[in-house]
Amino acid sequence: MMQPWQIYLRGIAMGAADIVPGISGGTIAFITGIYARLINCLRAFDWRLWGILRRDGVRGVLRAVDAGFLASLLGGILTSIVLLTHLISWLLLTYPIPLYGFFFGLVAGSGIIVYREIRKWRLSLLVYILFGAFLAYALSAWLPSVAQPTALTFFVAGAIAICAMILPGISGSFLLLVMGMYAPLIDAVKSLQVLFVGSFALGAGSGILMFSHVLGWLFEHYRSATFATLFGFIIASLPHIWPWKSASTTGHPLDAQAITPWQYSDLSGQPHQLWLVIILALAGWFLVLYLAKQQPNT
């Protein structure tokens, strides 16, 4: 059985992943061996808890939802978000190209892990892969930017982003970028804007309790199709985290086009840092594969 401190460290890794666009906390949970346990804990929050409370009291409810596991994991996630928000924000501003190179390797490695979970390969799964790719390309059209963030928009953003954050391979922060809510959320956390951060957390809590039941059902009944969709989404989302981009003409991050390192140097007058990006991308790739190889039984 995994010790609380081990769960806490995995929570720290999940929190770090959730605040950067490109890799999800769900991916970290998946490759570190706690994903199934996390989903089962979340699915335990339903109407049956009332019967357990009446029969076994508060202790029975805590056992049913695996409260110790959730407390350790949530503690690690919150610790990571509070401590790393400023660092990630600074790195994204100061060293975006090397950092996105590392993200690119992480996500590409995650794609391999997700692909391995597709069991009993058949041609029909290609439809789900293409569907996942379509979702990735259509996000910018389906989730328009928010001009003026409010408590309500933070709530909605939290509900949407958390669904991606618990999916292996899909980044909730990426969806926040698409909605134009990534920078406002980072600023809200950095400046401790309780109303906005609380609204986001409330939306995330509501979304995760509802979506975990749907996700658990999909993994039980359509496991290969679900992973095939995730694989298609990951592959199609890689261009969005390509390190070298042209300047956006609208100010929206997704409007920037992927270009070659040499084109970037010509357009920006800045070094392309190609070799550093390659090294960091390979480091991210091998890190994911190593963590997956060390995956413990839970």
Per-residue pLDDT of the chain (298 residues; tens, 9 = 90+): 678 888 998 888 888 777 766 567 877 787 777 888 888 888 888 788 888 888 888 888 888 888 899 999 999 988 988 887 778 778 878 888 998 888 888 778 878 878 888 877 888 899 999 998 887 777 655 555 555 678 888 898 888 888 777 776 666 777 787 677 777 888 888 888 889 989 998 998 888 878 877 877 888 888 889 889 888 888 887 887 788 987 654 455 556 678 899 998 988 888 999 999 999 999 988 877 776 665 554 4
Q: Do residues 174 and 21 make contact, with C-beta atoms less than 8 angstroms apart?
A: yes
Continuous H helices in the chain: 4-18, 25-31, 35-43, 48-64, 67-94, 96-116, 125-142, 151-165, 172-179, 182-190, 194-221, 223-237, 261-268, 274-293
Name the pTM for this structure: 0.72
**Residue found under tokens 């009291």:** 57
- The span from the CA of 21 to the CA of 190, in Å, is 17
